[in-house]
Chains A and B, each alone.
Chain A
Amino acid sequence: GQNIDQPTEMTATEGAIVQINCTYQTSGFNGLFWYQQHAGEAPTFLSYNVLDGLEEKGRFSSFLSRSKGYSYLLLKELQMKDSASYLCAARGDYKLSFGAGTTVTVRA
């Protein structure tokens, strides 16, 4: 089965850094994804990790530890447009399972 946990809400100031943690228990694990979803819109792909370590992509970085069943998404130099829900998703057994999402609010 699949079990994915992430915090419900986080608030940060414009220009700051925020780290969103995700823990997962997934049978047949073969990849961890992060998606961004603005209110009322479709999720859009941010990052993918399958090996341990850090993947950096501009202002966004994602980290994976397979042995700990743990990932985080790091958002740097926060901008107002980064206010959105961030979804952690683990792939295993032919399924992509999502956490409930973390709503990030960026304040001026």
Chain B
Amino acid sequence: EAQVTQNPRYLITVTGKKLTVTCSQNMNHEYMSWYRQDPGLGLRQIYYSMNVEVTDKGDVPEGYKVSRKEKRNFPLILESPSPNQTSLYFCASSLRQGMNTEAFFGQGTRLTVV
């Protein structure tokens, strides 16, 4: 089954404790991205990747890191989480940018930083 898989689905952590949210897709998609979703603000892009070893900042990259060592995986790293990073996070992938290709979303990770 074609899908985007995020883990964990729920996470409660403390300020400053490094964490990684994993994202994996099995559709051989080139383009992957991370979004955070907050009430009243919608989905805001954190980082995106056009292909392996090619990443770039989205609209709200501060406090986050990403890597794209393999085509299927695009982990999101919070080196020192803070309470303002409490949010619902979505990973998404699409075949490539610049074409009529829809984005497929993972099921989301609800992160709480206390």
Contacts and interface: CB of A to CB of B under 8 A. Distances in A.
Give the interface size bracket for A toward B.
Answer: 20 to 34
A50 B90 contact: no
A81 B99 CA distance: 31
A46 to B, nearest CB: 9
A96 B103 contact: yes
Contact of A45 (B35, B58, B103, B107): B103
A103 to B, nearest CB: 11
Nearest to A88: B42
Given A48-B102, A99-B42, A41 B107 contact: yes
B43 interface: yes
A98 interface: yes
B43 A87 contact: yes
A24 to B, nearest CB: 13
Contact of B45 (A50, A87, A95): A95
B42 A96 contact: no
B33 interface: yes
A33 interface: yes
Interface string A88-99: 010100111111
A45 B56 CA distance: 24
Contacts of A89: 43
Contacts of A2: 59
Contacts of B92: 96
Interface string B27-50: 000000101000011111100101
Given A98-B35, A98-B43, 19 more contacts: A33-B102, A40-B108, A41-B108, A42-B108, A43-B90, A45-B103, A48-B102, A87-B43, A89-B43, A91-B97, A94-B56, A94-B97, A95-B45, A95-B59, A96-B45, A96-B92, A98-B42, A98-B44, A100-B40
14 contacts: A30-B98, A40-B108, A41-B107, A42-B108, A44-B105, A45-B103, A48-B100, A89-B43, A91-B97, A94-B98, A95-B45, A95-B48, A95-B58, A98-B44
